[in-house]
């Protein structure tokens, strides 16, 4: 065969293959764009950097309601660097929480995550998996089971009487009574006594110190959640709240660790004695046959959740 003809044939074949691959890549790109356009959620027009923050008013539910009326029951919004999906329909919510439950079981980490000492041990915000399932089972069967809660019915009654006596004393003496602080004190004491068998308001023991530290950590965690808006810039910790949160959690860790060691050293607990949440956690921690080995951080984090969680506060109240 003529060498020149052979060279031209090779060039033609290479050109044909290149053109075919370019055509296939172009078709794939168009198909992908159509697919993304079909699955993309409706969203309002966003501004650079802040996203849709300018559409959020003082009353968050009202802002979401207004957006839903205009863009539908399922929309995507961007709050700074964070993308969110807003569901405003009971039928869509039912689809998410019942039909697609496993796909939405994991919890996102918020702006304070990198400053949290017990990162990876938070049951409430844990990713769906072995640890989350184990802690859920432990809560349902032991920690927060109905029989366990019934064992502390007398504690709730005692704290109710103390609450009524405190209010009555203010009335007799003609002094103003802050019912909000009284109810917070009642709830704190009930939770503390169920968690660690000690009151945490109106006393000078370690539980009072823990309560104050938990309150401070909650306030700081709320402040530095602005990191969800700043994106990568949150690592710079402009306000210094991240460092303060680290220091507060370290202070919380010390008395809790001390209380845990005292419990472990106390071997006089007899069978049938009423166990609080800390007793059950330590029992599970020492159990060699447990489905999953708890760490000390797991226990401290769960106690922190007990003091923080509004759901628990409602659950343990009157």
pLDDT tens for each residue of 44-60: 888 887 788 888 888 88
Q: What angle do CA 167, 170, 175 make, to 5 degrees?
A: 140
Give the pLDDT confidence of 264-305 residue by residue, as tens digits.
Answer: 887 655 455 788 999 999 999 999 998 889 999 999 999 988
pLDDT at 313: 44
- Lookup: tokens for 39: 């699955």
- The domains of the chain are located at 1-40, 53-104, 130-316
Domain 130-316 has CATH 3.30.70.250: no
For residue 278, the model assigns a pLDDT of 92
Structure tokens at 179: 């019912």
> From the CB of residue 29, how many other CB atoms can be counted at a distance below 10 Å?
10
Q: Report the pLDDT value the prediction gives residue 53, as an integer from 0 to 100.
A: 83
pLDDT for 227 equals: 59
Residue 35, both tokens: 């697919």
Q: Which of 95-104, 149-158, 214-223 has the highest mean pLDDT?
A: 149-158
Higher per-residue pLDDT: 81 or 6: 81
User: Which of 207, 294, 202 minimizes the C-alpha distance to 255?
Assistant: 207
pLDDT of residue 318: 36
226 SS3 class? helix
Residue 34 has pLDDT above 70, yes or no: no
The predicted model gives 246-260 an average pLDDT of 88
- Number of CB atoms found within 10 A of residue 75's CB: 20
Question: How large is the angle between the packed helices 277-286 and 296-308, nearest 10 degrees?
Answer: 160
Maximum mean pLDDT: which of 151-160, 174-183, 232-241: 151-160
Please determine, for residue 312, whether its predicted confidence score (pLDDT) is greater than 60. no
Task: Write down the pTM of the prediction.
Answer: 0.68
Encode 88-121: b = buried (16+ Cβ within 10 Å), e = exposed. beeeeeeeeeeeeeeeeeeeeeebbbebbbbeeb
Question: How many CA within 13 A on the CB side of residue 67?
Answer: 26
Helical segments of the chain, H only: 3-39, 60-71, 90-94, 130-138, 146-150, 153-173, 179-196, 206-223, 227-230, 241-265, 277-286, 296-308, 310-316
Across the chain, mean pLDDT equals 78
User: Using 50, 70 and 90 to split pLDDT, how confident is the model at 311?
Assistant: very low
CB 116, CB 125: distance < 8 Å: no
At residue 138 the predicted structure's pLDDT band, cuts being 50, 70 and 90, is very high
Which tokens is 165 given?
């006596």
Residue length, the chain? 318
Indicate the range of 184-188, 262-266, 310-314 predicted with least confidence: 310-314
- pLDDT for res 24: 65
């Amino acid at each position: 065969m003529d060498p020149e003809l052979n060279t031209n044939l090779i060039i033609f074949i290479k050109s044909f293959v290149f053109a075919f691959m370019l055509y296939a890549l172009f078709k794939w790109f168009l198909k992908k764009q159509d697919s993304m356009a079909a699955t993309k959620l409706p969203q309002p027009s966003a501004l650079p950097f802040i996203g849709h923050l300018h559409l959020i008013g003082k009353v968050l539910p009202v802002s979401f309601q207004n957006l839903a009326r205009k863009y539908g029951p399922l929309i995507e919004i961007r709050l700074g660097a964070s993308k969110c999906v807003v569901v405003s329909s009971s039928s869509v919510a039912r689809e998410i929480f019942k039909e697609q439950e496993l796909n939405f079981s994991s919890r996102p980490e918020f702006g304070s995550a990198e400053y949290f000492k017990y990162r990876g041990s938070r049951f409430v915000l844990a990713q769906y998996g072995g640890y989350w399932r184990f802690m859920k089972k432990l809560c349902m069967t032991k920690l927060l089971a109905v029989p366990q809660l019934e064992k502390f019915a007398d504690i709730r009654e005692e704290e109710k009487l103390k609450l009524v006596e405190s209010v009555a004393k203010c009335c007799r003496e003609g002094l103003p009574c802050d019912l909000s602080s009284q109810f917070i004190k009642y709830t704190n004491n009930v939770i503390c006594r169920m968690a660690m068998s000690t009151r945490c308001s109106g006393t000078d023991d370690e539980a009072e110190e823990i309560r104050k530290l938990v309150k401070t950590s909650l306030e700081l965690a709320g402040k530095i959640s602005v990191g969800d808006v700043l994106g990568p810039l949150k690592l710079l910790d402009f306000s210094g709240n991240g460092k303060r949160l680290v220091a507060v959690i370290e202070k919380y860790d010390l008395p809790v660790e001390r209380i845990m060691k005292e419990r472990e050293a106390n071997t006089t607990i007899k069978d049938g004695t009423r166990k609080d949440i800390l007793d059950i956690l330590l029992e599970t921690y020492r159990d060699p046959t447990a489905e999953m080995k708890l760490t000390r951080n797991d226990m401290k984090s769960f106690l922190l959740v007990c003091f923080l969680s509004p759901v628990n506060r409602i659950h343990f109240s009157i």
